[in-house]
Structure 1
């Protein structure tokens, strides 16, 4: 598992869904949270014609920095390691050590909503601000006091922002 294998899988899902006659062509909204936000950003950046809008909740744009601060080279990565309770292999880090996700996952030129908390202790907001600045039509909403993974009032506020973003003409 890596951001690259997840991006590949997500692209296949989008293509399969949009190929169905019941699908509304050109109306694909990608919503991703944390690492899923980075994956959604990668897919939208690589396949912009498949995506109508992109919404990122507490996106993990610090992933490249985190990987590089832990391992200098792919050879330094153990065969398996733990990431937030999940066992991952070298492929997970290979993808992160080869690219800067604040650049590669932020070239999509369509509408982008980013919602992030200023109290996120997993993904510092500076990485999200850096990534948000790369989007041509991006809007960053910072939730005061919110951490990583929205709950309660923070979740309700994020969902209101998402609803407004979806229904915007």
Structure 2
């Protein structure tokens, strides 16, 4: 018999549906849980290994597809309808749902965000500071607004649609972050934060991770030598182990 149970869980909010998978330890008592938020054009499957590792070690996990977050997403919305803030709505709906699950220790809910999902996770953590016990960020893409504001410096320069890495984004994605400065909106989350960042990241410069770590009152940054934007199998295993240790130390 497996140490954990996986289950498809659909969450509805704002007239749309989120597709997700829960990984829960096969035990009676309430357990801590980690909510995983994938990066740009990722899906819930980005965190299968992490979730199975946690569940085997007595920690629950929920991984989901952001609405419009990927060309492979099983959740609602087109990629051209997605923005940072629709993704934040998705994550907030997930938190609101999971904190009421019978087998979840609602005092020990943790957020884990990767890349763009890290940006979204950081925003949600500020709003849900009382409910969330700790935050883990994997090469969080705090550069997103800076990058696009440089590319489209005026509202007039924003196109109706723009393709990035095979993903079609709509005007509202860029308009919603026009003139947005992420470091003015994060850093007040007062519990522990752990940031993972590679020193060879060419998508999100390490400086963004370091600046975030300095901004939070209780944050550590773990720098992975030789890793870029997307870790090797060995480093991902280390991230899973450190996530498990972080949850146990903070529960």
Q: TM-score range by the shorter chain?
A: over 0.9
Query: Can you give the 5+ residue segments of structure 1 that lack an aligned partner in the other structure?
Result: none
Report which structure shows greater RCO (CA 8 Å, sep ≥6): 1
Secondary structure of the corresponding residue to residue 104 of structure 2:
coil
The residue aligned with 1:82 is 163
Matched, 1:16 2:97: yes
What CA deviation, in whole Å up to 9, does each residue of 1:42-95 have, x standing for no partner? 000122122111000111011121111101122211001012321111211122
Q: Is the 8 A contact 2:149 2:179 kept in 1?
A: no
Q: Distance in 2 between matches of 1:110 and 1:82?
A: 37
Match of 2:123 among 39, 42, 46: 42
Q: Distance in 2 between matches of 1:101 and 1:153?
A: 31
Secondary structure of the corresponding residue to residue 159 of structure 1:
helix
Matched, 1:110 2:196: no
**Which structure's residues are more often strand, by fraction?**
2
Residues 155-164 or 6-15, more deviating: 155-164
Matched, 1:146 2:227: yes
Q: Number of matched residues?
A: 169
Matched, 1:51 2:100: no
Q: Distance in 2 between matches of 1:6 and 1:13?
A: 11
Matched, 1:73 2:186: no
Secondary structure of the corresponding residue to residue 105 of structure 2:
coil
Residues 46-55 or 28-37, more deviating: 46-55
Q: Is the 8 A contact 2:111 2:135 kept in 1?
A: yes
The residue aligned with 1:3 is 84
Q: Distance in 1 between matches of 2:183 and 2:213?
A: 8
Q: Is the 8 A contact 1:42 1:106 kept in 2?
A: no
Query: Can you give the 5+ residue segments of structure 2 that lack an aligned partner in the other structure?
Result: 1-81
- With over 3 angstroms needed to count, the CA separation of the structure-2 counterparts of 1:118 and 1:93, relative to structure 1, is same
1:127 Cα shift? 1.4
TM-score (norm 2): 0.64
Please show how residues 117-136 of structure 1 align to structure 2 within 5 Å: 117-136=198-217
| Backbone CA RMSD of aligned residues | 1.4
